[in-house]
Amino acid sequence: MDYQSAVLPQNLGYFLLVLFGIIWILLGLYWGRKAKSLDGFMVAGRNVGLALGAATAMATWVTSNTTMLAPQFALQLGIWGMIAYSTASFGLFFFAPMARRIRRLMPSGYTSGDFIRLRYGKPAWVVFLVISLFYSLTWMISMGMAGGLVLLAVAGIPYETGMTAILLVCVLYTLFGGLYAVIGTDFIQSILILVGVVVVGAVIYTRIDFETTYAAVAVDQPALLMVLVPAAIMAFFNNMLFGMGEIFHNNVWWSRAFAMRRNVAGKAYWLGGLFWLPIPVAVGFIALASASLGINVIRPDMVGPVAATQVLGFAGAIVVFIVIFCSLASSIDSLLAATSDLLTEDVYRKAINPGANEATLRRTNQLIIGLLGLVTWLICRLNIGTLAEILFFAGPLVGSTIWPVAAGLFWKRTNPTGAFAAMLLGSLIGLICYFQIGWYTASLVGAAVSMVIVITTTLLWPRDFDWKTLDETPPDAMEPSTQKGASS
Amino acid sequence: MFLFSNPAGIPRVSSFSFVTTLVWLTTAVFLGGAPTATFVTPEPHAPVASSHFSLEWTAGADDDEELHFELRQSGGPDFADPRVRYEGPDRATFLAGLPEGDHYFQIRAKTPDADSAGPWSDSFHLTIQYQSLTLAWFLFGVGAVVFLATLVLVVAGSTKARREEKAETTERGAFSGPS
């Protein structure tokens, strides 16, 4: 499927790509000097403050999924779709108190996998790792693909070139700087994203006539204005629970909780959620306006960038280019760092080489970052399906982790076998619904099945748990104020 | 019902195919080699449950990158009330917000200056039939229950944890005594 002619000249597109690529890589090298220890590389020294914390939460959550999937939701599911997408911010709101708890229970933790292993034991840990790695890979693939598609649509850069460039830049600066570089670049990227979204929103507001938009949608796309469209009704809580599942389980969010100062983690996630909340509605509206603007949409996941660049013209296209480049980079780097942490800590250190020293672990971590980038690039080359199809396939899997993670953090008596069964059966039954009913039900069903199993097994077969088990701080590394017993 | 007998296994031509070819040739002669277009997307055999659908089309043998296309939609197969859905050089469109019911589409190719327009293609029939509202509201209800239960779990859990932390801090302060 060919797209309409790109708004930006290809040369300018390449110039912006190279310019931002060099900036991020240099920043990665600069921040990388701070990451001297493994703690520095993996969890940014556990000393991230509120401004950086809130910015990294917001920037990571403004992914290609927000800038490209939110408009797709609006185009496929109408008004409901727009609101449904913005409910993903509830994941950040709910995770705020959890982050505070995580920081307190696991002062020297590295990954979400650590928590599941210590809380529920090996069988649940294996299922959790499979879910988490599968999801991380689908998320990364969807973003690599999004990068290629956007650069093609906005600047006419061939899909493979654009996708390769974005992945390469992110791999390089994450490789040099670890989580320091990821959080630092996230801060700059979050400012560029917010300014860009406000500028794009303001210009579009002045150029679009709301009455004309409404009339065009009512004639050509009447179902987008209907309240009673079953798929849209089902998608509402499905998307909210998908977002919760993504945040509750994924190491992207856990590694930030470990990286932030103790009293900062909760507030940072709240602020990140608040900043993020209006963005899907703003970008979703652009999709609804596409009919009145006479824009022919070919791929639903491209409607946002294509409509914005066509409305805003040359200058606007540059802003859109920068916003999307930043939103992609801020999420790809986070995923690379968090997934490599998960593989280094949970697979390499715990299962393959328990005696590895810091230098070996850091080298392994960097090797994994490179390999993850390579695997993602290979799969992205196939350009399979739309972004939503790829990402939501992982929906039931992540939905099924909500209750095992949340109950495991707050309930002493949650049963490990129950948590294992909840993730397994929730994923399987959710996947059946994905194929039998539609993607817009899978996370919801996965989460519901998992919740019922966790509650039932906890009530019927309660198992006592000592919270101190979660604190793996070596005795010689403990500060006096955090000696064992500080856990509630 | 064949026009010719087939003693030697020569591919047989049905009377229907013969008439269709004749009509097509006559039309082509009358239109003076006007460009043609056909749908590439296979027609769905069953009703589609969502309100959106992707349509792709291609030009005939006389393909030219400069060609424009016109896509029209109607509520009936006779195209008594046609409405233009797209006009331009693209070869695909994503139809969004389709209401329940039968939708018919036809495509035709045009030269860029619209001097010469080809014949309308065979019509593409699409039936939209949403899932049951009962199922939708049931799943909405299930989602609401999971959401509320998670909210209670997180809020109650974190409140209790904070209370315990506070009590612990007070206890530790009392234990260490005045400095």
Sequence spans of domains, chain A: 10-386
For residue range B114-158, list pLDDT tens digits in order: 677 889 999 999 999 998 899 889 999 999 999 999 999 999 999
Q: Which of A69-73, A185-189, A267-271, A479-483 has the lowest mean pLDDT?
A: A479-483
Q: Are residues B120 and B158 in the same domain?
A: no
For residue range B61-73, list pLDDT tens digits in order: 766 777 889 999 9
- Rounded Cα distance between A102 and A264, Å, is 12
Q: Are residues B97 and B107 in the same domain?
A: yes
Residues of the domain holding B168: 132-179
Does residue A444 contact residue A241 with C-beta atoms inside 8 Å?
yes
- Rounded Cα distance between B22 and A125, Å, is 69
Residues A49-70 have a mean pLDDT of 75
Size of interface A-B (CB pairs under 8 A): 157
Q: What is the CATH number of the domain that holds B110?
A: 2.60.40.10
Higher pLDDT, B106 or A107: B106
Task: Give chain A's mean pLDDT.
Answer: 83
**Facing residue for B133 by CB, picked from A97, A228, A410:** A228
Interface contact flag, B97 A78, Cβ < 8 Å: yes
**Which of B40, B41, B48, B51 would you mutate first to test chain A, the one with the most A CBs within 10 A?**
B51
Interface contact flag, B146 A444, Cβ < 8 Å: yes
Q: Which residue is it, tokens 């994923």?
A: A427
Q: Are residues B104 and B147 in the same domain?
A: no
Interface contact flag, A97 B146, Cβ < 8 Å: no
Minimum CA–CA partner of A302 in chain B: B94
Percentage with pLDDT > 90 across chain A:
26
How would residue A9 be classed by pLDDT, with cut points 50, 70 and 90?
confident
> Which residues does chain B have within 8 Å of residue A224's beta carbon, measured at their own beta carbons?
51, 96-97
Interface contact flag, A298 B137, Cβ < 8 Å: no
How would residue A407 be classed by pLDDT, with cut points 50, 70 and 90?
very high
- Rounded Cα distance between B51 and A80, Å, is 13
CA distances from B21 to A57, A358, B3, B9 (A): 64, 76, 14, 22
Residues B74-79: contacts with CB under 8 Å, at least 24 apart: B74/B103, B74/B104, B74/B105, B74/B106, B75/B101, B75/B102, B75/B103, B75/B104, B76/B102, B76/B104, B77/B104, B77/B123, B77/B125, B79/B104, B79/B106, B79/B120, B79/B123
Q: Are residues B151 and B169 in the same domain?
A: yes
Q: Are residues B123 and B60 in the same domain?
A: yes
| Overall number of domains in chain B | 3
Q: Are residues B51 and B122 in the same domain?
A: yes
Classify A45 in phi/psi space as left (phi over 0), alpha (psi -120 to 50) or beta: left
Which residues have a Cβ under 8 Å from the Cβ of A437 and sit 6 or more positions away?
A: A234, B131, B135
Q: Are residues B13 and B72 in the same domain?
A: no
Task: For residue A246, give the nearest of A412, A65, A383, A117 by alpha carbon.
Answer: A65
Q: Are residues B104 and B42 in the same domain?
A: yes
> What is the CATH architecture of A10-386?
Up-down Bundle (1.20)
